[in-house]
Protein backbone atom coordinates (compact mmCIF):
# COMPACT_ATOMS: atom_id res chain seq x y z
CA UNK A 1 0.00 0.00 0.00
CA UNK A 2 1.32 3.43 -0.93
CA UNK A 3 0.86 5.16 2.40
CA UNK A 4 -2.53 6.87 2.44
CA UNK A 5 -3.74 8.41 5.67
CA UNK A 6 -5.75 5.83 7.59
CA UNK A 7 -9.06 7.64 7.96
CA UNK A 8 -12.30 8.42 6.19
CA UNK A 9 -12.79 11.79 4.56
CA UNK A 10 -16.22 12.91 3.32
CA UNK A 11 -17.58 9.38 3.08
CA UNK A 12 -14.44 7.86 1.52
CA UNK A 13 -12.10 5.48 3.32
CA UNK A 14 -8.72 6.60 1.99
CA UNK A 15 -7.00 3.30 2.77
CA UNK A 16 -9.54 1.39 0.69
CA UNK A 17 -9.37 4.01 -2.05
CA UNK A 18 -5.57 3.78 -2.06
CA UNK A 19 -5.61 0.00 -2.58
CA UNK A 20 -8.25 0.28 -5.30
CA UNK A 21 -6.21 2.90 -7.17
CA UNK A 22 -3.21 0.57 -7.07
CA UNK A 23 -5.38 -2.14 -8.61
CA UNK A 24 -6.37 0.24 -11.40
CA UNK A 25 -2.73 0.75 -12.30
CA UNK A 26 -2.77 4.44 -11.43
CA UNK A 27 0.47 6.22 -10.40
CA UNK A 28 1.50 5.14 -6.92
CA UNK A 29 2.09 7.52 -4.06
CA UNK A 30 0.56 8.87 -0.91
CA UNK A 31 -2.87 10.48 -1.20
CA UNK A 32 -2.22 14.15 -0.57
CA UNK A 33 -4.46 16.68 1.17
CA UNK A 34 -8.11 16.09 0.32
CA UNK A 35 -10.24 19.14 -0.45
CA UNK A 36 -14.01 19.18 -0.60
CA UNK A 37 -15.23 20.94 -3.73
CA UNK A 38 -18.48 22.81 -3.57
CA UNK A 39 -20.92 22.30 -6.40
CA UNK A 40 -24.57 22.71 -7.27
CA UNK A 41 -25.60 19.28 -6.01
CA UNK A 42 -25.54 17.27 -2.82
CA UNK A 43 -23.08 14.79 -4.28
CA UNK A 44 -19.61 14.61 -2.76
CA UNK A 45 -16.69 15.97 -4.79
CA UNK A 46 -13.18 15.50 -3.43
CA UNK A 47 -9.98 16.77 -5.02
CA UNK A 48 -6.60 15.23 -4.17
CA UNK A 49 -3.17 14.41 -5.55
CA UNK A 50 -1.47 11.03 -5.73
CA UNK A 51 1.74 10.07 -7.43
CA UNK A 52 2.08 13.42 -9.17
CA UNK A 53 -1.39 13.28 -10.71
CA UNK A 54 -4.46 15.24 -9.62
CA UNK A 55 -7.89 13.66 -9.28
CA UNK A 56 -11.48 14.55 -8.49
CA UNK A 57 -13.57 11.81 -6.88
CA UNK A 58 -17.34 11.96 -7.23
CA UNK A 59 -19.75 9.87 -5.17
CA UNK A 60 -23.32 10.24 -3.88
CA UNK A 61 -24.04 11.91 -0.54
CA UNK A 62 -23.56 9.85 2.60
CA UNK A 63 -27.35 9.62 2.96
CA UNK A 64 -28.08 8.22 -0.48
CA UNK A 65 -31.32 8.16 -2.40
CA UNK A 66 -32.49 4.80 -3.81
CA UNK A 67 -31.04 5.50 -7.27
CA UNK A 68 -27.83 7.24 -6.18
CA UNK A 69 -25.45 4.41 -7.08
CA UNK A 70 -27.02 3.81 -10.47
CA UNK A 71 -26.75 7.55 -11.12
CA UNK A 72 -22.99 7.39 -10.52
CA UNK A 73 -22.65 4.43 -12.84
CA UNK A 74 -24.57 6.28 -15.56
CA UNK A 75 -22.50 9.43 -15.15
CA UNK A 76 -19.28 7.46 -15.53
CA UNK A 77 -20.64 5.71 -18.61
CA UNK A 78 -21.59 8.93 -20.41
CA UNK A 79 -18.26 10.60 -19.58
CA UNK A 80 -16.44 7.57 -20.97
CA UNK A 81 -18.57 7.73 -24.11
CA UNK A 82 -17.76 11.40 -24.69
CA UNK A 83 -14.00 10.79 -24.75
CA UNK A 84 -12.64 11.90 -28.09
CA UNK A 85 -15.65 14.06 -28.99
CA UNK A 86 -15.61 17.86 -29.15
CA UNK A 87 -18.05 18.11 -26.24
CA UNK A 88 -16.34 19.88 -23.31
CA UNK A 89 -16.53 17.51 -20.35
CA UNK A 90 -14.42 16.24 -17.44
CA UNK A 91 -12.18 13.39 -18.54
CA UNK A 92 -13.00 10.07 -16.90
CA UNK A 93 -10.01 8.33 -15.28
CA UNK A 94 -11.54 5.24 -13.70
CA UNK A 95 -14.86 4.14 -12.21
CA UNK A 96 -15.94 1.75 -9.46
CA UNK A 97 -19.52 0.57 -10.07
CA UNK A 98 -19.53 -1.60 -6.92
CA UNK A 99 -21.04 0.35 -4.01
CA UNK A 100 -19.71 -2.19 -1.51
CA UNK A 101 -16.15 -0.86 -1.70
CA UNK A 102 -16.63 2.52 -0.01
CA UNK A 103 -20.39 2.41 0.53
CA UNK A 104 -21.29 3.92 -2.84
CA UNK A 105 -20.45 3.70 -6.50
CA UNK A 106 -17.92 6.36 -7.47
CA UNK A 107 -15.56 7.49 -10.17
CA UNK A 108 -12.38 9.48 -10.63
CA UNK A 109 -12.15 12.25 -13.19
CA UNK A 110 -9.66 14.85 -14.33
CA UNK A 111 -9.90 18.21 -12.54
CA UNK A 112 -11.36 20.92 -14.75
CA UNK A 113 -9.23 24.00 -15.32
CA UNK A 114 -12.07 26.47 -15.24
CA UNK A 115 -14.49 28.42 -13.06
CA UNK A 116 -18.19 28.39 -12.31
CA UNK A 117 -19.83 31.75 -12.93
CA UNK A 118 -21.93 31.31 -9.82
CA UNK A 119 -18.86 31.85 -7.65
CA UNK A 120 -17.90 35.11 -9.34
CA UNK A 121 -16.02 36.20 -12.44
CA UNK A 122 -12.26 36.57 -12.93
CA UNK A 123 -11.08 40.06 -13.77
CA UNK A 124 -10.76 39.20 -17.47
CA UNK A 125 -14.41 38.20 -17.76
CA UNK A 126 -15.81 40.73 -15.33
CA UNK A 127 -14.29 43.68 -17.20
CA UNK A 128 -15.20 42.69 -20.76
CA UNK A 129 -18.81 42.93 -21.90
CA UNK A 130 -18.11 41.31 -25.27
CA UNK A 131 -16.44 38.38 -23.55
CA UNK A 132 -19.49 37.86 -21.33
CA UNK A 133 -21.69 37.85 -24.42
CA UNK A 134 -19.47 35.18 -25.94
CA UNK A 135 -19.76 33.15 -22.72
CA UNK A 136 -23.51 32.92 -23.25
CA UNK A 137 -23.12 31.90 -26.88
CA UNK A 138 -20.59 29.24 -25.87
CA UNK A 139 -23.29 27.63 -23.76
CA UNK A 140 -25.49 27.26 -26.84
CA UNK A 141 -22.52 25.83 -28.74
CA UNK A 142 -21.86 23.28 -26.00
CA UNK A 143 -25.23 21.59 -26.26
CA UNK A 144 -25.25 21.89 -30.05
CA UNK A 145 -22.07 19.79 -30.00
CA UNK A 146 -23.59 17.33 -27.54
CA UNK A 147 -26.75 16.96 -29.61
CA UNK A 148 -24.66 16.19 -32.70
CA UNK A 149 -22.92 13.17 -31.13
CA UNK A 150 -24.07 9.83 -32.53
CA UNK A 151 -25.02 8.05 -29.31
CA UNK A 152 -24.86 4.62 -30.92
CA UNK A 153 -21.40 5.23 -32.33
CA UNK A 154 -20.03 6.15 -28.88
CA UNK A 155 -21.49 3.07 -27.20
CA UNK A 156 -24.62 4.44 -25.50
CA UNK A 157 -27.11 1.96 -26.89
CA UNK A 158 -29.61 1.17 -24.14
CA UNK A 159 -28.59 4.23 -22.11
CA UNK A 160 -32.11 5.61 -22.46
CA UNK A 161 -35.41 4.86 -24.17
CA UNK A 162 -35.58 7.29 -27.08
CA UNK A 163 -38.65 5.66 -28.62
CA UNK A 164 -41.69 7.57 -27.38
CA UNK A 165 -39.53 9.90 -25.29
CA UNK A 166 -41.63 13.01 -25.87
CA UNK A 167 -44.89 11.10 -25.55
CA UNK A 168 -43.93 9.93 -22.04
CA UNK A 169 -42.88 13.27 -20.61
CA UNK A 170 -46.11 14.80 -19.33
CA UNK A 171 -47.38 11.53 -17.88
CA UNK A 172 -44.08 10.84 -16.16
CA UNK A 173 -43.76 14.21 -14.49
CA UNK A 174 -47.45 14.43 -13.64
CA UNK A 175 -47.18 11.10 -11.81
CA UNK A 176 -44.07 12.27 -9.98
CA UNK A 177 -45.86 15.41 -8.82
CA UNK A 178 -48.84 13.40 -7.61
CA UNK A 179 -46.48 11.07 -5.76
CA UNK A 180 -45.39 13.93 -3.52
CA UNK A 181 -48.79 13.80 -1.86
CA UNK A 182 -47.54 10.78 0.05
CA UNK A 183 -45.12 13.03 1.98
CA UNK A 184 -46.31 13.67 5.52
CA UNK A 185 -47.82 17.15 6.09
CA UNK A 186 -47.36 18.20 2.45
CA UNK A 187 -50.45 20.26 1.52
CA UNK A 188 -50.26 19.25 -2.12
CA UNK A 189 -48.86 20.90 -5.22
CA UNK A 190 -50.18 24.46 -5.01
CA UNK A 191 -48.80 25.53 -8.38
CA UNK A 192 -50.87 27.89 -10.55
CA UNK A 193 -51.10 26.74 -14.14
CA UNK A 194 -49.90 23.20 -13.60
CA UNK A 195 -52.86 21.55 -15.35
CA UNK A 196 -53.11 24.15 -18.11
CA UNK A 197 -49.44 23.65 -18.95
CA UNK A 198 -49.75 19.86 -18.98
CA UNK A 199 -52.76 20.04 -21.31
CA UNK A 200 -50.97 22.47 -23.64
CA UNK A 201 -47.93 20.22 -23.80
CA UNK A 202 -50.02 17.21 -24.72
CA UNK A 203 -51.93 19.16 -27.37
CA UNK A 204 -48.87 20.73 -29.00
CA UNK A 205 -46.31 17.93 -28.80
CA UNK A 206 -43.99 17.81 -31.85
CA UNK A 207 -44.79 14.96 -34.19
CA UNK A 208 -41.14 14.10 -34.85
CA UNK A 209 -38.11 13.74 -32.61
CA UNK A 210 -34.54 12.74 -33.45
CA UNK A 211 -32.81 11.01 -30.51
CA UNK A 212 -29.47 12.06 -29.10
CA UNK A 213 -27.58 12.53 -25.85
CA UNK A 214 -29.36 14.78 -23.38
CA UNK A 215 -27.52 16.38 -20.44
CA UNK A 216 -30.81 16.75 -18.59
CA UNK A 217 -29.99 19.71 -16.33
CA UNK A 218 -28.37 22.30 -18.55
CA UNK A 219 -28.04 25.78 -17.07
CA UNK A 220 -25.29 28.23 -16.23
CA UNK A 221 -24.63 26.60 -12.86
CA UNK A 222 -23.68 23.32 -14.54
CA UNK A 223 -20.92 24.57 -16.78
CA UNK A 224 -17.36 25.75 -16.15
CA UNK A 225 -15.72 28.42 -18.26
CA UNK A 226 -12.11 28.79 -19.36
CA UNK A 227 -10.00 31.25 -17.40
CA UNK A 228 -8.46 32.51 -20.62
CA UNK A 229 -11.57 33.22 -22.67
CA UNK A 230 -15.32 32.71 -23.11
CA UNK A 231 -15.13 29.03 -24.06
CA UNK A 232 -16.61 26.24 -21.98
CA UNK A 233 -13.99 24.32 -20.04
CA UNK A 234 -16.50 21.58 -19.24
CA UNK A 235 -20.15 20.72 -18.90
CA UNK A 236 -20.53 19.15 -15.44
CA UNK A 237 -23.11 17.33 -13.28
CA UNK A 238 -24.28 14.64 -15.70
CA UNK A 239 -26.56 12.86 -13.23
CA UNK A 240 -29.72 13.35 -15.33
CA UNK A 241 -28.09 12.46 -18.64
CA UNK A 242 -29.94 10.08 -20.93
CA UNK A 243 -30.69 9.40 -24.56
CA UNK A 244 -33.76 11.42 -25.45
CA UNK A 245 -34.43 14.60 -27.38
CA UNK A 246 -31.45 16.99 -27.12
CA UNK A 247 -33.68 19.99 -27.85
CA UNK A 248 -34.85 19.72 -24.26
CA UNK A 249 -31.37 20.90 -23.22
CA UNK A 250 -31.84 24.02 -25.32
CA UNK A 251 -35.30 24.43 -23.84
CA UNK A 252 -33.84 24.18 -20.34
CA UNK A 253 -31.17 26.75 -21.13
CA UNK A 254 -33.75 29.23 -22.39
CA UNK A 255 -36.16 28.45 -19.54
CA UNK A 256 -33.52 29.59 -17.06
CA UNK A 257 -32.06 32.42 -19.16
CA UNK A 258 -32.46 36.07 -18.08
CA UNK A 259 -35.31 37.89 -19.79
CA UNK A 260 -35.17 41.44 -21.15
CA UNK A 261 -35.34 42.77 -17.59
CA UNK A 262 -32.54 40.51 -16.41
CA UNK A 263 -34.83 38.17 -14.46
CA UNK A 264 -34.38 34.41 -14.36
CA UNK A 265 -36.39 31.77 -12.47
CA UNK A 266 -33.09 30.35 -11.20
CA UNK A 267 -31.59 33.69 -10.20
CA UNK A 268 -28.46 34.02 -12.39
CA UNK A 269 -25.17 34.97 -10.78
CA UNK A 270 -24.65 38.63 -9.93
CA UNK A 271 -22.32 40.45 -12.26
CA UNK A 272 -22.98 38.16 -15.24
CA UNK A 273 -26.17 39.75 -16.51
CA UNK A 274 -24.76 42.72 -18.37
CA UNK A 275 -23.71 41.79 -21.85
CA UNK A 276 -25.38 38.40 -22.13
CA UNK A 277 -27.07 37.58 -25.45
CA UNK A 278 -30.86 37.44 -25.53
CA UNK A 279 -32.76 34.17 -25.53
CA UNK A 280 -33.59 34.68 -29.21
CA UNK A 281 -29.90 35.15 -30.02
CA UNK A 282 -29.07 31.97 -28.10
CA UNK A 283 -31.63 30.01 -30.11
CA UNK A 284 -30.32 31.43 -33.40
CA UNK A 285 -26.75 30.61 -32.40
CA UNK A 286 -27.74 27.01 -31.66
CA UNK A 287 -29.65 26.79 -34.95
CA UNK A 288 -26.58 27.90 -36.92
CA UNK A 289 -24.64 24.98 -35.41
CA UNK A 290 -27.25 22.25 -35.50
CA UNK A 291 -29.21 20.34 -38.12
CA UNK A 292 -32.17 19.99 -35.77
CA UNK A 293 -35.57 21.55 -36.55
CA UNK A 294 -36.28 24.34 -34.04
CA UNK A 295 -39.79 25.21 -35.23
CA UNK A 296 -41.27 23.83 -31.97
CA UNK A 297 -38.66 25.27 -29.61
CA UNK A 298 -41.35 27.00 -27.53
CA UNK A 299 -42.73 23.56 -26.69
CA UNK A 300 -39.35 22.42 -25.38
CA UNK A 301 -39.01 25.57 -23.29
CA UNK A 302 -42.40 24.96 -21.68
CA UNK A 303 -41.57 21.29 -21.08
CA UNK A 304 -38.27 22.29 -19.48
CA UNK A 305 -40.08 24.66 -17.11
CA UNK A 306 -42.67 22.00 -16.28
CA UNK A 307 -40.09 19.26 -15.70
CA UNK A 308 -37.63 21.26 -13.62
CA UNK A 309 -40.40 22.86 -11.59
CA UNK A 310 -41.77 19.45 -10.63
CA UNK A 311 -38.30 18.15 -9.76
CA UNK A 312 -37.68 21.13 -7.44
CA UNK A 313 -41.12 20.79 -5.86
CA UNK A 314 -39.96 17.42 -4.55
CA UNK A 315 -37.60 19.14 -2.12
CA UNK A 316 -40.48 21.36 -0.99
CA UNK A 317 -42.58 18.27 -0.30
CA UNK A 318 -39.73 16.51 1.54
CA UNK A 319 -39.24 19.61 3.69
CA UNK A 320 -42.81 19.32 4.98
CA UNK A 321 -42.03 15.72 5.93
CA UNK A 322 -38.85 16.74 7.73
CA UNK A 323 -36.63 15.11 5.12
CA UNK A 324 -35.13 18.32 3.70
CA UNK A 325 -34.25 21.77 4.97
CA UNK A 326 -37.39 23.92 5.22
CA UNK A 327 -35.72 27.11 3.96
CA UNK A 328 -34.33 25.23 0.97
CA UNK A 329 -37.75 23.74 0.33
CA UNK A 330 -39.35 27.19 0.38
CA UNK A 331 -36.68 28.53 -1.98
CA UNK A 332 -37.20 25.68 -4.44
CA UNK A 333 -40.97 26.13 -4.29
CA UNK A 334 -40.55 29.80 -5.17
CA UNK A 335 -38.35 28.75 -8.09
CA UNK A 336 -41.02 26.26 -9.20
CA UNK A 337 -43.64 29.03 -9.20
CA UNK A 338 -41.32 31.26 -11.24
CA UNK A 339 -40.72 28.48 -13.77
CA UNK A 340 -44.44 27.85 -14.21
CA UNK A 341 -45.06 31.57 -14.51
CA UNK A 342 -42.52 31.70 -17.32
CA UNK A 343 -44.05 28.64 -19.00
CA UNK A 344 -47.48 30.29 -19.07
CA UNK A 345 -46.05 33.12 -21.16
CA UNK A 346 -45.56 30.68 -24.04
CA UNK A 347 -49.08 29.21 -24.04
Which residues, listed in sequence order, are joined to residue 12 by a DSSP beta bridge? 9
Domains of the chain from N-terminus onward? 8-109 (3.30.200.20), 117-344 (3.90.1200.10)
* Angle between helices 194-203 and 165-179 in degrees, nearest 10: 160
pTM over 0.95: no
Per-residue pLDDT, 162 = 95
How far apart (Å, rounded) are the C-alpha atoms in residues 282 and 154? 27
Q: Nearest CA to 265 among 214, 309, 296?
A: 309
Dihedral of CA atoms 238, 290, 221, 173 in degrees, nearest 10, equals: -60
Phi, psi dihedral angles at 196 (to 5 degrees): -60, -40
Would you list the DSSP string of 107-172?
EEEPPPSSB-GGG---HHHHT-HHHHHHHHHHHHHHHHHHHHS-TTTTT-TTSS--TTHHHHHHHH
Dihedral of CA atoms 109, 101, 16, 49 in degrees, nearest 10, equals: 10
Strand 35-36 vs strand 44-50: parallel, antiparallel, or unpaired?
Answer: antiparallel
Reading the chain (347 residues) residue by residue, the pLDDT tens digits are 444 444 778 889 999 999 999 999 999 999 989 999 875 457 899 999 999 999 999 999 887 888 999 999 999 999 999 999 999 999 999 999 999 999 999 999 999 999 998 888 999 999 999 999 999 999 999 999 999 999 999 999 999 999 999 999 999 999 999 999 999 999 989 999 999 999 999 999 999 999 999 999 999 989 999 999 999 999 999 999 999 999 999 999 999 998 887 788 887 554 456 788 999 999 999 999 999 999 999 999 999 999 999 999 999 999 999 988 899 999 999 999 999 999 999 99
How far apart (Å, rounded) are the C-alpha atoms in residues 199 and 146? 30
Neighbours of 314 (CB within 10 A): 19
CA distance from start to end of the chain: 62
How far apart (Å, rounded) are the C-alpha atoms in residues 73 and 145? 23
Q: Are the CB atoms for 276 and 242 separated by under 8 Å?
A: no
φ/ψ region of 271 (left if φ > 0, alpha if ψ in -120 to 50, else beta) reads left
Residue count of the chain, please give it.
347
Amino acid sequence: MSGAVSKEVEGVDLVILDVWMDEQGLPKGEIGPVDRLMGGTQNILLRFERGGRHYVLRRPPVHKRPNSDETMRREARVLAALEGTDVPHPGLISACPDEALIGAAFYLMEPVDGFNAGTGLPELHGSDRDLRRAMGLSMAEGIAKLGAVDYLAVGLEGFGRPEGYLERQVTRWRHQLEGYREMENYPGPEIPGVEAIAEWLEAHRPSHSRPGILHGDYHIGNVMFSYSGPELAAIVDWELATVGDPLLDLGALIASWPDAEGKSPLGPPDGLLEGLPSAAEMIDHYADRSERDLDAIDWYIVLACYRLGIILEGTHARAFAGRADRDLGDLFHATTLALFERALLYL
